[in-house]
């Protein structure tokens, strides 16, 4: 059994492998984040607009969207990963590696992000929507020129939370062969009791999360005018 000090500090750590795993994690994060935002932002806007007393109030549409989002959000991500394997194979041709990890990450995080977007839009003063409407704006103009810019700090905070959630999801996707730091932590740290590998991967994950949070907070402050 290996421990921290048996053969010197970090004896089990294969640094090139750590490097590769870090890159994989960042790739999974970047790829899934981009698609999550691309899908989740419009979905969140739609949720907001179709909700009660909003511009396109559509109780049925809202009800259906809301129900689907809640279902996906209430399934534990690990289960979602496994259930989605056939879907993933259909989309990217494999359920392994970085490419195989991205579809379940996106499907898991999109409803989460959409809900955060909906909430951020709800924070915008209704009076601003009304004033913009009174100027003769179209619904598209109201969304693009008033709602989204006014919600910017809230939307950035939503992006930060989502990115950090994605990091922890990528760690889980290691379970089904997704690769990345989480995969290393499980295969070496957990299954082979190599605590040093575990420690290094966890520290790296913590650093990524800290950096993301700091970046997000900075941006929020930069764009806040209140």
- Site residues (vs other proteins, CB under 8 A): 125, 127-128, 130-138, 141, 145-146, 149-150, 152, 223, 225-226
Calculate ∠ Cα 42-43-44, nearest 5°: 90
Alpha carbon of 208 to those of 60, 103, 128, 146, 203: distances in Å?
40, 21, 37, 33, 9
Residue owning tokens 């950090």: 164
Q: How far is the CB of 61 from other proteins (least distance, A)?
A: 19
**Beta carbons of 150 and 59 less than 8 angstroms apart:** no
Alpha carbon of 166 to those of 73, 93, 126: distances in Å?
13, 22, 31
Q: How far is the CB of 59 from other proteins (least distance, A)?
A: 13
List residues bridging with 8 in a β-sheet: 6
Q: How far is the CB of 127 from other proteins (least distance, A)?
A: 4
Tokens standing for 63? 């009800």
CB nearer other proteins, residue 76 or residue 225? 225
Q: How far is the CB of 153 from other proteins (least distance, A)?
A: 9
CB nearer other proteins, residue 41 or residue 101? 41
Q: How far is the CB of 212 from other proteins (least distance, A)?
A: 23
CB nearer other proteins, residue 152 or residue 192? 152
**Beta carbons of 107 and 80 less than 8 angstroms apart:** yes
CB nearer other proteins, residue 62 or residue 77? 62
CB nearer other proteins, residue 93 or residue 225? 225
């Amino acid at each position: 059994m290996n421990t921290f000090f048996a053969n010197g500090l970090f004896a089990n750590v294969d640094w090139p492998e750590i490097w590769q795993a870090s890159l994989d994690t960042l790739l999974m994060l970047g790829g899934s984040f981009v698609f999550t935002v691309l899908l989740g932002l419009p979905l969140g806007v739609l949720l907001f607009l179709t909700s009660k007393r909003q511009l396109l109030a559509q109780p049925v549409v809202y009800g259906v969207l809301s129900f689907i989002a809640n279902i996906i959000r209430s399934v534990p991500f690990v289960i979602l990963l496994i259930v989605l394997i056939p879907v993933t194979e259909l989309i990217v041709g494999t359920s392994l590696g970085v490419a195989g990890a991205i579809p379940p990450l996106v499907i898991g995080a999109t409803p989460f992000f959409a809900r955060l977007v909906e909430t951020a839009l709800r924070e915008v003063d209704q009076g601003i929507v009304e004033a913009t409407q009174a100027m003769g704006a179209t619904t598209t103009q109201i969304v693009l020129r008033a709602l989204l810019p006014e919600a910017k700090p809230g939307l950035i905070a939503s992006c930060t939370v989502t990115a950090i959630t994605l990091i922890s999801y990528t760690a889980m996707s290691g379970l089904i062969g997704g690769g990345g730091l989480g995969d290393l932590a499980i295969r070496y740290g957990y299954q082979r009791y190599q605590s040093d590998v575990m420690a290094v991967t966890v520290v790296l994950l913590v650093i990524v999360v800290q950096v993301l949070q700091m970046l997000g907070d900075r941006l929020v402050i930069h764009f806040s005018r209140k």
